[in-house]
Amino acid sequence: MATYVTSDVHGYLRALDAALELVGLGSDDVLYVMGDMVDRGPDPIGVVKLVRSLPNARVLMGNHERMLLDVLAADDDRELLLWQMNGGSTTSRELDALSGEEAGELIEWLSGLPLFDVVEVADERVRRSHPGDPELAAATRAHLLVHAGIDAAIARANLRAAGVPVDAAGGARDASVAQLASMLSQQVSDDLLWIRGDFWSEATGLIGRDGRGPVVVSGHTPSLYLGRYGRLMSGTGVTEDLQGCVVEVGACRDTGGEADRICIDCAAATGSPTGRVGIMRLEDRATWYVPVGEGA
């Protein structure tokens, strides 16, 4: 069993389908789709339908799903115009083409999407580098999965209030999955969906000097623009061909050389030729990419 993550497909159905074919998900594998399936690209409802058809997909809400739901709830022409200016026109047209029953069922499903999840997986990079150490050969790492990011100061305070030691030496390595999930439940929902500069510019403090502790995985900020906010990035956020890519952020001496944040928004929203759909496997951080095509 392996765990994969992707985010911000933004209506590029053919690129997502091709990326999934490259990955070749097994029957026991889990794919987290971390929001922003809709808007901007040519077939947002097709993306939603494909994701829903995957037997082991776990889906989080993104800010674009939230905008869609807010527009429908408000029934306000100004809100509708703002959404359409932010890429909602294609989604709106495709929703209008559905039957009332199908559209209602899809909206109900979107309304029930969670804002976060926590998953703990084998850390294959550590295991392979320490085969003779029984403890490290069984190493695991928790990943906090959110669309945009977290307020790290509030996260640390909430963990400490729950009795979890959080310090420079060990980060939050002793936090259980349940404690991390409880901490995320206390985050402001707008931060989970919209935060950007404050999240990428500062360390989370959840990974200590020994390199252990949970990593935050998120999308929302296209990697092409991550350099405006991120510090200690592993690269510039683009390939030599100026295409989006997965970016690890925050690795330094204080984190034992481990990134404490990973951006998986490969800039599909920017369209061709810079945008790609990316999928990452959490266990070893292997990545697969497919460029979005013109109108595809």
Q: pTM of the predicted model, to two decimals? A: 0.96
Cα–Cα distance for residue pair 45/20, rounded to 1 Å: 17
Inter-residue contact 23 to 52 (CB < 8 Å): no
- Residue 11: half-sphere exposure toward Cβ, Cα within 13 Å: 25
Q: Residues 34-64, buried b or exposed e (16+ Cβ, 10 A)?
A: bbbbbbbbbbbbbbbebbeeeeebbbbbbbb
pLDDT tens for each residue of the chain, 296 residues long:
999 999 999 999 999 999 999 999 999 999 999 999 999 999 999 999 999 999 999 999 999 999 999 999 987 888 888 888 889 999 999 999 999 999 999 999 999 999 999 999 988 787 676 666 666 667 899 999 999 999 999 999 999 999 999 999 999 999 999 999 999 999 999 999 999 999 999 999 999 999 999 999 999 999 999 999 998 999 999 999 999 999 999 999 999 999 999 999 999 999 999 999 999 999 999 999 999 986 56
Tokens 């790290």 correspond to 152
Kindly state the tokens that stand for 57. Answer: 């997909």
CA distance readout (Å), 84 to 8, 87, 88, 129, 160:
17, 5, 4, 49, 42
Virtual CA dihedral for 35, 41, 236, 61, nearest 10 degrees?
A: -10
